[in-house]
Structure 1
Amino acid sequence: MQAWQVHELGEPGEVMRLADVARPTPGEGQILLKVRAANVNFPDALMCRGQYQVRPPLPFTPGVEICGETEDGRRVIANPALPHGGFAEYALADARALLPAPDALDDAEAAALHIGYQTGWFGLHRRAGLEAGETLLVHAAAGGVGSAAVQLGKAAGATVIGVVGGAGKAAVARELGCDVVVDRREQDVVAAVKEATGGRGADVVYDPVGGPAYAQSAKAVAFEGRIVVVGFASGTIPSPALNHALVKNYSILGLHWGLYNTKNPKLVQHCHEQLTELAARGAIKPLVSERVPLAGAATAVQRVADGVTTGRVAVLPALQNGAAA
């Protein structure tokens, strides 16, 4: 089979190599899946660089989120068992952690329902307790993680303010349903949020960016607001001023979704049931901006790393030169 492999650490576009390799052999509790779609996530780029909390042994195949097919024909969602990741024709996964792919979504959309939407659901509902009528501020609202939070926020009855970088991403955020869109390249984010909320600020801030975005979050959060720290796509991990949180009465909430898979996997299953129901009634639908063949995976990962994509980029091994094989 064909699979992308990383033999040395560095930029994805430089260290990912497409090779002919043997199909992986399932270990105890694992299952072999035919990859129908694999979505590109920022952690894929971080793993290529050796900067992610999970560091698979070299050589490894990136790809942490797939829609796959079992030998008996079931369409499932899975997080591949590294080092045998999803940017390949076949991948391995924990047989107990498979989730049924929703009928309402195609392969690329189904794969995209997993990490980003699970993270959004846990962040907004489990951690922040978002309520209908509240205001939600989402950084990087046109990206893969942010776009999921926007849709989940709207489904929960919140007013959603999306922060983006550039006119093209602003248009995407509006199409996703943002009530207010702030272009950080053209506008003062804090002033724009205060103006949109009558000076009150956002009740919940969803931040997968860190760095300067977190500083804006602390200034734009409302009294008794909640800032959900999801990641650091900016590359900078901020150092919160705890005296500021004390004086302004807001909470800083961390979210590591992967921990729920080991600490409380039943919650992951419950979340998937909620997401499947939302997808069935059209309340959420993953934004898949590009679908590329397996040969385009390295370029796709590099583009996500460079922050020039919107929504999710899906790698479909069945595509050949952009057309279904």
Structure 2
Amino acid sequence: MEAVGLNRAEALFRARAYYYQPDLPASRIGAEAAGVVEEVGPGVEGFAAGDPVSVLLIATGAMSVHGVYADRVNVPAHTLIRRHPSVDAVTGAATWLSYLTAYGALVEIGGLRPGDTALITAASSSVGIAAIQVANLVGAVPVAVTRTGAKKEQLLKAGAAHVVALDEDDLIARVGELTGGRGARVVFDAVGGPGVTRLAELVARDGTLIVYGWLDGRPTPLPANWPLAVYGFALPAVLDHEDRKRRATAFIEAGIRSGDLSPLVDRVFPLEAVADAHRHMEGNGQVGKIVLTVGRGEEE
């Protein structure tokens, strides 16, 4: 192991608020990482010792059994993604979960096209930043939503066409102004909870409201009587379909090569400071991905 990407799911998992529970007393934690193959087991094809790889665990229960907060891990071969030698470990640990989620939801499910508006909540998260970049690469207009104006300049620098700060702006009025009253073609929401009914008012006719997270924690009511599609997104919607998986992988790899897709790393901690890294994540001050490095010493 060389680097581990932190995700909000791990804080929820640790707090027993995730959609599956730790398999105690021997549960592990962590779903995304990068490193180098040391050895392959019998019957494994396509990978060999010395290969640089990323690791992505998404199956129910997988994190509990194969969690990647470690200096060495033994994981199923199907969780590996080949990593080009030019892609460093920090980037390799910060890419796949965020960009597969953003691309899969916005493009494969939402059908985002050039000129469409994509409204992105929790936009300073790693998935939010990925969604901004994916929307730009498609030719769409990413509108970032954030709780306070403190992150506005960082989000504009990250590529957002517009930023709506909930402590400064009226969300419905501002989105109406930005879209000429049409609403957003895709609303991409990480929060869930009762606020979903408000977001539904911002979706363009025949548009899509995609909910992929539950940061709110309260029940999420299903919007009624709006001419829109509502979709609960998780990565199997991409990875369990070979055509979608092939398109997503090609899109992300091409974007990384061209530099149009580039994970924004907020802060790097050594593995030994994982508790501090989780405190930083739960403080909600980050913009982009938090990464742990293995065997590199001091915090960056």
TM-score scaled by length of structure 2:
0.89
Structure 1's 151 and 102: CA in aligned 2 closer, same or farther, altered over 3 A?
farther
Equivalent in the alignment of 1:287: 264
Equivalent in the alignment of 2:31: 64
Equivalent in the alignment of 1:50: 16
Within-5 A mapping of 1:121-200: 121-200=103-182
> Following the alignment from structure 2 to structure 1, what is the Cα–Cα distance between the partners of residues 212 and 186?
13
CA deviation profile, 1:266-312 (whole Å, cap 9, x unmatched): 64344222201111011110111101001111221233234232211
Q: CA deviation at 1:222?
A: 1.1
CA deviation profile, 1:187-238 (whole Å, cap 9, x unmatched): 1111111111111111111101113542331121111111111111122332
Q: SS in structure 2 opposite 1:242?
A: coil
> Following the alignment from structure 1 to structure 2, what is the Cα–Cα distance between the partners of residues 203 and 177?
18
1:254 aligns with 2:220: no
Within-5 A mapping of 1:15-54: 35-54=1-20
1:207 aligns with 2:189: yes
Structure 1's 275 and 39: CA in aligned 2 closer, same or farther, altered over 3 A?
same
Gaps in structure 2 of 5+ consecutive residues:
39-48
> Following the alignment from structure 1 to structure 2, what is the Cα–Cα distance between the partners of residues 75 and 147?
25
State, as a whole percentage, how many aligned pairs show the same letter: 28
Q: CA deviation at 1:172?
A: 1.8
Q: SS in structure 2 opposite 1:90?
A: coil
> Following the alignment from structure 2 to structure 1, what is the Cα–Cα distance between the partners of residues 288 and 7?
10
Conservation of the 8 A alpha-carbon contact between 2:104 and 2:237: no
> Following the alignment from structure 2 to structure 1, what is the Cα–Cα distance between the partners of residues 67 and 223?
38
Structure 1's 51 and 86: CA in aligned 2 closer, same or farther, altered over 3 A?
same
Equivalent in the alignment of 2:42: none
Q: CA deviation at 1:42?
A: 0.8
1:320 aligns with 2:294: no
Equivalent in the alignment of 1:299: 276
Relative to structure 2, which stretch is displaced further, 35-44 or 53-62? 53-62
How many pairs align?
Answer: 284
Aligned residues: CA RMSD: 1.8
TM-score scaled by length of structure 1:
0.82
* Residue identity in the other structure for 1:64: A
Structure 1's 294 and 137: CA in aligned 2 closer, same or farther, altered over 3 A?
same
Q: CA deviation at 1:85?
A: 1.3
Equivalent in the alignment of 1:276: 253
